[in-house]
Homo-oligomer: A and B are copies of this chain.
Amino acid sequence: MKSRENLIPVYYRLAEDIKQQIEAGELKDGELLPTEAQLGEKYGISRMTVRQGIALLAEAGLIDTIKGKGSFVTRPRLNQLIIDLKNSGVNDEQLRYKLLSVNLIRNNLKLASELGFTGQSSVITVKRLLFKGAQPVAIEEKFLRYQKGKPLLETQLEYADFPELVAKHQESVPVRNDTVISVAALLPEQARLLEADEVLPALVIKQVIYAKGDNPLGVSIMICHKDRFELKATSYPLSGRL
């Protein structure tokens, strides 16, 4: 079936077909798919092409393939949620930024080691206020390993998201972002900045960016106004090709 006629690749159509069957409940959780050879036969395509479709389904979490046995229908991984910090409240396009302060703190081993910056005693701090419309929604404080000869541009300070900022200021390549989400009470000064009652709690998002080998390159702490900010996450793959 050389279906170049209609531009949609055959392996993709095979994957879609099977996806439909799974979502319609025709192929149930745990059930075994036909073998690759059988699917090739059925669709009139070669085995490598079948495998391309199967790979797509596996990537989407719809099947598990076990060598020597076959491909089994499985429930999608609904417990694995994706937060896109660029589109879920944080770093939203609707947000405006106001730069509060930038400091280079030299020779403060205590601070550097608290942040996990080994072999380092100078730290850059950047503080911004995030607005949605006229309302302040979050305070963001960033701590960067100081890197000689890599000055930060004003535009970066104001507009770059955190991983991007770290990338620009570092020789080392950032490879991982570990984040913790928790709740804390606002400090008086934070409450003032956020124009909130002092008693209000806040959503706290703490990001740590690492280079290869678990070396922290930067730490970001966002203090978010509880009524003006929430985090959205979804199980649906953002880069989903199916």
Contacts and interface: CB of A to CB of B under 8 A. Distances in A.
Contacts of A82: 80-83
B85 A81 contact: yes
Nearest to A164: B75
A232 B206 CA distance: 10
Given A179-B234, A180-B230, A183-B202, A83 B84 contact: no
B23 A175 contact: yes
A173 B22 contact: yes
Copies of this chain in its oligomeric complex = 2
Contacts of A164: 75
A40 interface: no
A182 B25 contact: no
B79 A178 contact: no
A202 to B, nearest CB: 7
Interface in A157-181: 161, 163-164, 167, 171-181
A17 to B, nearest CB: 15
Given A78-B163, A81-B83, A179-B233, A172 B25 contact: yes
A24 B176 CA distance: 14
